[in-house]
């Protein structure tokens, strides 16, 4: 277990077994503040798989928080979904007590498999929850950040505004559909795909989007390819099909493996690192938890423009893939000798 923690550079693992609850909280790095990250509630093949998942996700949250300039560390909770019948309310009540016992070192949020009503149940047991029916959905903030991020990438790579450019969006979910609306309003041409035909029809009728099949989206001639569905969609095969200048999407872990960042860089495609451009949701969760109003939250989300600009400039001047530059910047904040002051990036 310690070797695995070392590999993921995770500092703490907390476990709870009580009644139907089998949960693990992984805290990766708390240098910037209490860890904030979602609670995943899915079935796992084994306990080790669940623990690995918590550690991998907590690691990603530290990097995301560092570059999003929020005063949070990286953490994630995983609850192993019981097979068969179980009392959901009781399970989340127990999980709330577990979170409370960590005394604020970890703040939880919604993730795959958890709902707003689960979060409301947690709130009856602990204050360390950043999602609930009172706080609302982070997706609009993620979509807003995506718009700012795509605009920044287009200005950098194409020296122009969004008007008239073509964006191919893969997945019209909570983020993808809102992003499509923003881009349409900004004067972009849209190409879209989704496994759900109702969503593509909506985009076609409301945003005059061209609809293509889910396997045809990669080879579309466009300026920006925006993966907003599933993770892992960029692999050797799909990358070789791309006909775009920029990749900028909200899906987490878009690259099937890290080395593909180098390949994309060599192809002359500007890649906006997923965990930077999709950080609007985390900024929303952190800022609303800290009592900020909508205007203040949007101001915080807008800061991802400066971060992306810095990544793009450094990537070009050093001739190094954007993902590696982003990781290096995050690691300087998380581990650098200088204390991380004001979550700023001047040190870089
Ligand atoms: P969602 O589940 O609402 O939307 C995903 C969409 O992708 C759905 O419409 C689904 O039908 C579609 N889809 C699934 N498989 C597809 C395929 N093969 N081809 C095309 N479309 C497909 O999810 P979301 O909240 O919009 O998030 C999208 C991605 O962004 C996820 O990877 C999520 O982890 C990530 N993300 C979301 C947020 C947020 O605030 N919601 C924040 C950060 C990252």
State residue 112's pLDDT score: 86
Q: Helix-strand-coil percent breakdown of the chain, rounded to 5?
A: 45, 20, 35
Q: Is 76 a catalytic residue?
A: yes
Q: 223 is written with which tokens?
A: 């300026």
DSSP 291: T
Measure the CA angle with vertex 34, ends 45 and 347; round to 5°.
110
User: Is 290 part of any domain?
Assistant: no
- Supply the CATH number for residue 10's domain: 3.40.50.10860
User: Is 296 part of any domain?
Assistant: no
Residue closest via CA to ligand 1's atom 25 equals 174
How far, in Å, is the centroid of ligand 1 from the Cα of 251? 6
User: Is 249 part of any domain?
Assistant: yes
Q: What is the number of structural domains in the chain?
A: 2
State residue 141's pLDDT score: 95
How far, in Å, is the centroid of ligand 1 from the Cα of 246? 19
- Single out the residue of 183, 189, 114, 113 nearest to residue 148, CA to CA: 183
Cα Rg of the chain (Å, integer): 20
Q: Are 32 and 109 found together in one domain?
A: yes
- Single out the residue of 102, 84, 81, 101 nearest to residue 23, CA to CA: 81
State residue 339's pLDDT score: 58
Measure the CA angle with vertex 5, ends 12 and 112; round to 5°.
75
Range of the domain at 85: 2-63+72-123
Q: Are 117 and 146 found together in one domain?
A: no
Q: pLDDT 10s per residue in the chain (348 long)?
A: 999 999 999 999 999 999 999 999 999 999 999 999 999 999 999 999 999 999 999 999 999 999 999 999 999 999 999 999 999 999 999 999 999 999 999 999 998 899 999 999 999 999 999 988 888 889 999 999 999 999 999 999 999 999 999 999 999 999 999 999 999 999 999 999 999 999 999 999 999 999 999 999 999 999 999 999 988 999 999 999 999 999 999 999 899 998 999 999 999 999 999 999 999 999 999 999 999 999 999 999 999 999 999 999 999 999 999 999 999 999 999 998 765 555 444 444
171 lines ligand 1 (CB under 6 A): yes
Which ligand 1 atom sits nearest the alpha carbon of residue 274?
44
Q: Are 54 and 143 found together in one domain?
A: no
State residue 343's pLDDT score: 46
- Single out the residue of 274, 253, 256, 252 nearest to residue 322, CA to CA: 274
- To the nearest 10°, report the CA torsion of 232, 238, 244, 249: -10
Residue closest via CA to ligand 1's atom 32 equals 251
229 lines ligand 1 (CB under 6 A): yes
How far, in Å, is the centroid of ligand 1 from the Cα of 19? 33
Q: 301 is written with which tokens?
A: 């989300």
42 lines ligand 1 (CB under 6 A): no
Residue closest via CA to ligand 1's atom 30 equals 251
Residue closest via CA to ligand 1's atom 35 equals 251
216 lines ligand 1 (CB under 6 A): no
Q: Are 322 and 192 found together in one domain?
A: yes
327 lines ligand 1 (CB under 6 A): no
Q: Of the residues 176, 234, 274, which should be mutated to test ligand 1's pocket, given the most ligand atoms within 8 Å of the CB?
A: 176
Helices 139-158 and 294-302 pack at an angle, to 10 degrees, of: 30
Q: Which residues contact 7 (CB under 8 A, 6 or more apart)?
A: none
Which ligand 1 atom sits nearest the alpha carbon of residue 214?
19
Q: Are 106 and 195 found together in one domain?
A: no
Q: Single out the catalytic residue among 18, 64, 76, 245.
A: 76
State residue 134's pLDDT score: 82
State residue 341's pLDDT score: 57
pTM: 0.93
User: Is 298 part of any domain?
Assistant: no
38 lines ligand 1 (CB under 6 A): no
User: Is 107 part of any domain?
Assistant: yes
């Amino acid at each position: 277990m310690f070797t695995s923690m070392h590999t993921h550079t995770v500092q703490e693992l907390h476990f709870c077994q009580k009644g139907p609850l089998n949960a693990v909280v992984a805290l990766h790095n708390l240098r910037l503040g209490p860890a904030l990250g979602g609670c995943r509630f899915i079935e796992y093949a084994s306990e080790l798989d669940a623990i690995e998942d918590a550690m991998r996700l907590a690691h990603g949250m530290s990097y995301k928080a560092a570059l999003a300039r929020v005063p949070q560390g990286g953490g994630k909770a995983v609850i192993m979904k019981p097979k068969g019948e179980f009392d959901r309310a009781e399970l989340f009540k127990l999980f709330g007590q577990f979170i409370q016992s960590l005394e604020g070192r970890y703040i939880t949020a919604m993730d795959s498999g958890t709902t707003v009503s689960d979060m409301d149940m947690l709130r009856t047991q602990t204050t360390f929850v950043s999602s609930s029916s009172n706080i609302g959905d982070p997706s609009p903030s993620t979509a807003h950040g995506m718009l700012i991020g795509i605009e920044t990438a287009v200005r950098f790579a194409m020296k122009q505004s969004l008007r008239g450019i073509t964006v191919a969006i893969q997945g019209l979910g909570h983020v993808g559909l809102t992003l499509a609306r923003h881009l349409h309003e900004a004067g972009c041409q849209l190409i879209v795909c989704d496994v759900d035909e109702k969503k593509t029809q909506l985009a076609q009728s409301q945003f005059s989007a061209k609809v293509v099949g889910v396997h045809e989206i990669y080879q579309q001639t466009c300026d920006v390819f925006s993966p907003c569905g599933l993770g892992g969609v960029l692999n050797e095969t799909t990358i070789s099909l791309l006909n775009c200048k920029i990749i900028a999407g909200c899906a987490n872990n878009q690259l099937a493996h890290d080395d593909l960042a180098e390949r994309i860089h060599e192809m002359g495609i500007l890649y906006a690192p997923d965990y930077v451009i999709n950080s609007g949701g985390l900024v929303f969760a952190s800022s609303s938890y800290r009592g900020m109003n909508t205007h203040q939250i949007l101001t915080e989300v807008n800061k991802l423009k400066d971060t992306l600009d810095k990544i793009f400039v450094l990537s070009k001047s050093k001739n190094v893939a954007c993902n590696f530059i982003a990781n290096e910047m995050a690691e300087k904040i998380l581990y650098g000798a200088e204390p991380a002051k004001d979550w700023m990036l001047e040190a870089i």
